[in-house]
Amino acid sequence: MGIKLNLTWYNKTNEEFAGEEYSKDLGYDNSIIESCGLPLNDTLNNGVFDVLDTWVPVLQSKFSHSINFDKYIYQISFDYQE
């Protein structure tokens, strides 16, 4: 077990829930957090973060859902499980 990403998206017009996807288990590789410019200590298991467009190149390969800021608002959590 290790780090999993939980991507959630909401319809941009009415802000209703539209979908959710978990990444595969990333093991103990926390480089994705650092690549997003977030601190390790305050990020794991610490709620959700609004996805920034600069994060898409880092995050997109972890999900089958194609991130589309024209249609959706995105949030992500970085979840660690033992």
Residue pair 7/68 in contact (Cβ under 8 Å)? The answer is: no
pLDDT of residue 33: 95
Domain ranges of the chain: 3-80
Residue pair 25/52 in contact (Cβ under 8 Å)? The answer is: no
pLDDT of residue 71: 98
Q: Residue 48 and residue 59: Cα distance in Å, rounded?
A: 15
Mean pLDDT of successive 10-residue segments in the chain (82 residues)? 95 98 94 94 93 97 98 97 80
pLDDT of residue 40: 86
CATH tag for 3-80 (out of 3.40.50.300, 3.30.230.10, 3.40.50.720, 3.10.50.20): 3.10.50.20
pLDDT of residue 41: 85
